[in-house]
Chain A
Amino acid sequence: MPFIPHTDADIRTMLGAIGAADLDALFEEIPDALRAPGLPGIPPALTEMEVGRLMTEFAARDGRPLNFIGAGAYEHHIPSAVWAIVTRGEFYSAYTPYQAEASQGTLQLLYEYQSMMASLTGMDVSNASLYDGASALAEASLMAVRANRKSKSQRILLPAALNPTYRDVTQAICGNQNLAFETVPYDAKSGQTVVAALDAYKGQDITAVALQHPNFFGTLEDVDAVTDWAHANGALVIAVVNPTSLAVLKPPGEWGTKGADIACGDGQPLGVPLSSGGPYFGFMAAKSEHVRQMPGRIIGRTVDLDGKPGFTLTLQAREQHIRRSKATSNICTNQGLLVTAATIYLSLLGPQGLAQVAATSMQRTQQLVDALTRIPGVRLAFDHPRFHEAVLLLDRPVAGVLEALARRGIVGGYDISARYPSLGHALLVCATETRTVGDIDIYAQALAETMRNPAAAA
């Protein structure tokens, strides 16, 4: 029996100790009318060998195309050591560290993670993770409502240049609590959020302003101006950031005169593979004055009965298992194993390595933009400094071009035309340090040939 160790003799002895005639007798409290007649729709069991073969065939069908999409998930090199350690059973198969004495490995690692994230974001404290970047923004919005006691409006300003799925998720999660989200436009030339547009809200009760930097288009924002505007108008600032970029960009804690109040984002770039969409992890850091409004688990360093330093879950009075309907969030299980990966990744890269990854990715994206915009029918949408993504405008619908590229083994970017109709045929592209100059040449040549072919205009 797969994964069940019982021998026939064990079963007899155990049923005898219970005083039950057979295994079926153990379910006697379930009304007969409810008993399921088996599971005919489930296929018969496979051995490990057979399931291995099956999975390998599924995977082979999808192959390994050359990827130039970012849009919230980024392909970076992951040191071999990261997942070799993450998949050790002691990390992989452990539970949430409720029994602190038996979980010091996980707890210390999470404390180290919190330390790294607090420094990377320039904030005082970090929690131990949320589900992903999009849901982290939703939690940050709810947190801002709790933290900004002077504001009663529950109105939050979101830039149009925010990742549109982040907006969708935030609306889906916060909508039932009647938060209202309003949109701040971006400048058609630079792709930056228009700071002057904020003045339409001057004198109104605004709970928070969120700012993604670099924004969905890859464009760098005027973080100081937005932050100072928000604080001058009684609003908190929620920074949505890419952790890799923070090796080279001024961290949210230093935005404007007073710094952002909450920083959040997706931790996937830190050692987590693209994995077809997840699991990734969301991070959240904040100023210490807001720590009691944070959602999710937080680890603290303390001492044991002998005065020896140790680590434990702390501030649990915020959480659902203690506070129930008055908790800061319903989150329970988070994304611990991915945080394990990120902590090992950040330790291996260090400040210098992470900066090199960030700078090299910027360089590669610039090389990609240069190569692709030389092709007739392709031009750059925004002329402002960017990080490692850019929007290209094509002279024909993007979808057909992407399908043509896919047939050549290239995933050529993300079609954002439907989300941003005013841009026209808009393609968001990204190159990280994992894309070589040779890769960029392959893409440029394939795109040039595709654009020369009028059939791809369909």
Chain B
Amino acid sequence: MTAMHEKLIFEHSAPGRSADAQYPQVPVEAPIPAALQRGRPPLLPEVSELQAVRHFTRLSQLNFSIDTHFYPLGSCTMKYNPKACNQYAMLPELLGRHPLAPESTGQGLLQILFELQEMLKEVTGMRGVSLTPMAGAQGEFAGVAMIRAYHRARNDLARTEIICPDAAHGTNPATATMCGCTVREIPTLANGDIDIEALKGVVGPKTAGIMLTNPSTIGVFERNILEVARIVHEAGGLLYYDGANLNAILGKVRPGDMGFDVIHMNLHKTFSTPHGGGGPGSGAVGVSERLLPFMPVPLVGKQGDRYRWLDEKDLPQTIGRLSNFMGNTGVLLRAYIYMRMLGREGMQRVSEFATLNANYLMARLREAGFELAYPERRASHEFIVTLRKEAREWETNAMDFAKRLLDFGFHAPTTYFPLLVPECLLIEPTETESKEELDAFVDAMIAIRKEAETEPAKLKGAPWTLPVRRLDDVRAAKQLDLAWKEESRV
């Protein structure tokens, strides 16, 4: 990191300056009725092109990213984003195409999307795929909305309860609420599996479905999944698969074969589209036979050698549209390119090496004396270290370790999630990291624990080497400063 501080773009601004090459220079008056005209111009920066380029380049240098740092962020699958996926998704014809242009002018694009649907069906074992949801949470929404539509179509109107394990991602219960459902939470056993007896206790005529991640958010494969599926199905509910952890099982086991009725895939995790500092993602959904009529539209269909959009006329029972056009197409293109470069062998290697890296890292950290949350279990693509001992003995908690790791040049693992494990780090190395990088991470963890014992202040005050030290979150929430105003100029 070369830049350590960069002023606000507004502080580079001077009245009358602008990047003149970037807009039409012939002055034009907008013939707008007086009552609808804007008075004061908006507060946008007035800077030269170089000033803008330098400002935003400097800002970029204040970030950690996969391209610059190891990012073992559990549940987020921060793997390398191949450059070819970006370059070939940004060909001018694909970028310039208007989404409402006639199908006859988009046969190349439609074929790509059709083939992507087919490939995702194959890797998930589902019968149909819709690419429209724009992120995992919207995929979840689509899934639960389809479950509700299914029950409604059968006139089974009492089914409004969604079952979630206590380890579930926060999006699961939030999604259930958005779909007008209530949440029934079930506990996880000490060995990491679902509490089958508790499940039997909550299923019934109100059960709409269950939302599960497998491997679960604690990084182990749910061994009783067929039993879970049987119980929920016999009770009349459906099974929702949260695909956040699909990277762990790609080509090894398919959600469709486990009995799931609907799945969302985070293409920005498993299929390596970029996270972009918080999106765009893509939450494509796959469904079993019984949910085919309810899929969100549009889909891509094929008739003879022509491709066309399928819409409400083709799927009259659809849950409808979730985006103005057809989702995050550019993300879909990147996932398609990635899948074509991996091929059938490469996709299986993804789960093999993601699992190898996680288990190796887990073995090394255990050997170094760190406590594992589920020591008797095989890790999937991620695993949990609990720092409760370190917190108790030296008052250095998981947050302190996470912040100190930043000083060592590693992005922190996921902290304090899942909620049921105290002082936890959820660590997901992904398959694209080398053994050398994993070893360096272990060395850093060992060094930090040594510091925790001898100089805990080094952890409590960390990070020391980044653009800022720990931020005052309480002040941020109490003295809200959410936008720069003209009067804040100093």
- Complex: A13 Cα to B364 Cα, angstroms: 12
Question: What are the residues of chain B within 8 A of A96 when measuring CB–CB?
Answer: 275, 277-279
Question: What are the residues of chain B within 8 A of A21 when measuring CB–CB?
Answer: none
Is the C-beta of B202 less than 8 angstroms from some C-beta in chain A? no
B-facing mask of A423-439, CB < 8 A → 1, else 0? 00000000001000000
Chain A: interface residue total (CB-CB under 8 A)? 200
A337-B274 in contact (CB<8A): yes
B-facing mask of A241-273, CB < 8 A → 1, else 0? 000001111110010000000000010000001
B439 CB to closest chain A CB (Å) equals: 10
A246-B38 in contact (CB<8A): yes
Question: What are the residues of chain B within 8 A of A72 when measuring CB–CB?
Answer: 324-325
Is the C-beta of A454 less than 8 angstroms from some C-beta in chain B? no
- Complex: A246 Cα to B360 Cα, angstroms: 55
* B residues 126-182 in Cβ contact with A at 8 Å: 134-138, 140-141, 145, 148, 169-171, 173-182
Is the C-beta of A442 less than 8 angstroms from some C-beta in chain B? no
Is the C-beta of B322 less than 8 angstroms from some C-beta in chain A? yes
- Complex: A84 Cα to B82 Cα, angstroms: 17
Question: What are the residues of chain B within 8 A of A211 when measuring CB–CB?
Answer: none
B279-A103 in contact (CB<8A): no
B176-A6 in contact (CB<8A): no
Given contacts A93-B67, A278-B280, A347-B55, 9 further A-B contacts (CB under 8 A): A26-B352, A92-B67, A93-B275, A105-B60, A275-B330, A333-B136, A333-B279, A349-B23, A349-B44
A356-B27 in contact (CB<8A): yes
- Complex: A322 Cα to B331 Cα, angstroms: 28
7 contacts across the A-B interface (CB closer than 8 A): A99-B412, A106-B278, A135-B323, A246-B38, A248-B37, A302-B471, A321-B169
A320-B170 in contact (CB<8A): yes
A44-B344 in contact (CB<8A): yes
A-facing mask of B321-343, CB < 8 A → 1, else 0? 11111111111010001011111
A248-B359 in contact (CB<8A): no
Is the C-beta of B466 less than 8 angstroms from some C-beta in chain A? yes
A46-B341, A89-B68, A104-B468 known; A350 vs B19 contact (CB < 8 Å): yes
Question: What are the residues of chain B within 8 A of A458 when measuring CB–CB?
Answer: none
- Complex: A411 Cα to B174 Cα, angstroms: 41
A278-B326, A302-B475 known; A334 vs B463 contact (CB < 8 Å): no
CB < 8 Å neighbour of A31 from B86, B102, B223, B477: B223
A31-B43 in contact (CB<8A): no
Is the C-beta of A455 less than 8 angstroms from some C-beta in chain B? no
A88-B60, A321-B170, A332-B137 known; A42 vs B122 contact (CB < 8 Å): yes
A26-B355 in contact (CB<8A): yes
A104-B322 in contact (CB<8A): no
A52-B106 in contact (CB<8A): no
Which of B91-99, B284-292, B387-395, B449-457 is the interface stretch? B91-99
Is the C-beta of B434 less than 8 angstroms from some C-beta in chain A? yes
- Complex: A117 Cα to B8 Cα, angstroms: 15
B49-A340 in contact (CB<8A): no
B-facing mask of A184-202, CB < 8 A → 1, else 0? 0000000000000000000
Is the C-beta of A212 less than 8 angstroms from some C-beta in chain B? no
Is the C-beta of B190 less than 8 angstroms from some C-beta in chain A? no
B-facing mask of A118-141, CB < 8 A → 1, else 0? 111000111011011111000000
